[in-house]
Structures are given as C-alpha cells and as structure tokens.
C-alpha cells in the first residue's frame, strides 16, 4: 500500500449519503403533487427503478452503456422518477423539484469518518480525488462540506463522458492525478464500478462495505468496513 501517491474516493455511499432517504423525499414530493402512493410503495419502487436503470445499462453494448453526458444523466433520473411516481399529472414539475433537491448540500450527510481521514491523508502527503458516476450537481454538494470542498480533483462521469467501470473513466482519473495507474488507489462501495473497474484499469482498489459488522481482520484484505480502517491498510 506504500506505493500510492493519489487516493480517489467514490462519492455516494463512500463519502456522502442522502438524508432523508431517497424514498422519503420521493414520497414527500409525490404527496405534494397529489400522488396516493404510500411511503412503503414508493421506497420499493425507487429501489426497483434504480435497479432497472442499472440493468438497462448492463444489457446495452459496452460503448452505449459507458458513454454519458449531462443530458443523458438527467434523462436517466427523469425516467426513474416517472417509473416511481406514475399517478400524478405534473410529472415534469415533480421531477424538476426532485432533481434540484439532490443538488443541495443539506440533502446529504458526510459520513462521520470522512473529515478526520481526509485531514490525516493530506498530512501524510497523499493527493486526494473524487471519482463518481454522478453529474455536475456533485460540485454544489461537495462545496457545501468543508471536508470535501478542498478536494480539487473531481472526476465526474457526466463531465468526462464515460461512466465507471469503463477504462476511459479511470484513464481520465489517472491523467488528472498525474500519476501512473499503479500509483492511484480507488476506494468505493460498488464492487463492479469501483473495485473491479479500477483493478482492470491497473489501479489499486479497496472496497468499502459500511454494512459489514465484522472487524477488518475478519474480512477480505481488499475490503474495509469504514474509512478509518483505510489508515491501517496504508501503514502496512
């Protein structure tokens, strides 16, 4: 682990998480526009719609699946909202409000272990980066958190034109870091996008599984339960 010069973090699920949950927010907005769907049903639909979006990507050929843009990401979320909330007449207005909601920093929480970790990594001389399958709203979100605001390298799929786990996404990350691929460590919570994608591109990778209850010693050497465990790995 001592070979790394740059440590890149996925955003959602690794550094930040939405609060309240997407299901709760979708329910609030749905009720405002006259939906009769209850909170449990909307939460179920959201999980299914998000999964359907991922499956649709997986079913497409690699070039189509990995190419993206601001317009394509916005359309992805428009389709998800339409699939979740299908009993209202003002669907466009509802979508606009939901899309704007998740651009606000106060719609997110930075995980408790993030600020201290980032300060420590900087003190050890590591270059830091954010590498996310998101869109340009992520800039506003990051700028709302002091711990994330100063991370200057932000590789966002809609801006670079490619999604993880594509090799071109990681090529852009390596280029912005100014390092060799083997000198960049990717830390994220998605096995395919963050871990396997980075490994295929020649980067190091660590999977964070915040739901894991066991201590690091009991898990995979490539898996951590929280970001504090990353410091232990980097000193080995």
The structural domains of the chain, ordered by start, are 6-17+107-234 (3.40.50.1000), 21-105 (1.10.150.720)
pLDDT reading at 138 higher than 80: yes
How much is the mean pLDDT over the chain? Answer: 93
Helix spans in 124-215 (H):
137-143, 146-149, 157-160, 167-177, 197-200
- pLDDT over threshold 80, residue 199: yes
2 pLDDT tier (thresholds 50, 70, 90): confident
d(CA 228, CA 225): 8
Nearest residue to 155 (alpha-carbon basis) of 142, 38, 145:
142
Phi, psi (deg, nearest 5) at residue 18:
-75, 140
Kindly tell me the burial class for residue 112, based on how many C-beta atoms sit within 10 Å of its own C-beta (0-12, 13-18, 19 or more).
Answer: exposed
Please give the pLDDT value at position 216: 45
- Among residues 6, 2, 3, which one has the least CA distance to residue 173? 6
Q: Residue 63's pLDDT band (boundaries 50, 70, 90)?
A: low
Could you give the C-alpha distances from 201 to 91, 180, 223, in angstroms and in order? Answer: 40, 11, 19
Position 55 scores a pLDDT of 78
Q: Render pLDDT for 205-226 as a digit per residue (tens, 0 to 9).
A: 999 999 875 444 455 669 999 9
Q: How far apart are CA 131 and CA 172, in angstroms?
A: 10
Q: Which two tokens stand for residue 224?
A: 């951590």
Higher-confidence position of 108 and 60: 108
pTM greater than 0.75 (yes/no):
yes
Distance CA 1, CA 97 (A): 44
Residue 14, pLDDT above cutoff 60: yes
Which range is least confidently modeled, 17-26, 162-171, 218-227? Answer: 218-227
């Amino acid at each position: 682990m001592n070979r790394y010069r740059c440590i890149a973090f996925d955003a959602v699920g690794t550094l930040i998480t939405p609060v309240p949950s997407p299901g709760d927010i979708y329910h609030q907005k749905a009720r405002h526009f006259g939906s009769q769907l209850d909170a449990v049903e909307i939460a179920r639909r959201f999980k299914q719609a998000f999964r359907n979006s991922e499956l649709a990507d997986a079913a497409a050929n690699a070039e189509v699946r990995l190419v993206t843009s601001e317009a394509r990401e916005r359309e992805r979320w428009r389709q998800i909202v339409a699939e979740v909330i299908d009993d209202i007449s003002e669907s466009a207005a509802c979508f606009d409000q939901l899309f704007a909601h998740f651009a606000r920093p106060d719609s997110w929480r930075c995980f408790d272990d993030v600020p201290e970790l980032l300060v420590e990594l900087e003190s050890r001389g590591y270059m830091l980066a954010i590498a996310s399958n998101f869109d340009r709203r992520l800039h506003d979100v990051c700028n709302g958190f002091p711990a994330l605001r100063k991370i200057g390298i932000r590789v966002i799929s809609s801006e670079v034109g490619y999604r993880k786990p594509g090799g071109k996404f990681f090529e852009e990350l390596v280029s912005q870091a100014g390092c060799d691929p083997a000198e960049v460590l990717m830390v994220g919570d998605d096995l395919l996008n963050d871990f396997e994608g980075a490994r295929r591109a020649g980067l190091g990778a660590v999977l964070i599984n915040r739901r894991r209850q066991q201590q690091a010693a009991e898990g995979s050497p490539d898996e951590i339960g929280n970001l504090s465990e990353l410091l232990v790995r980097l000193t080995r």
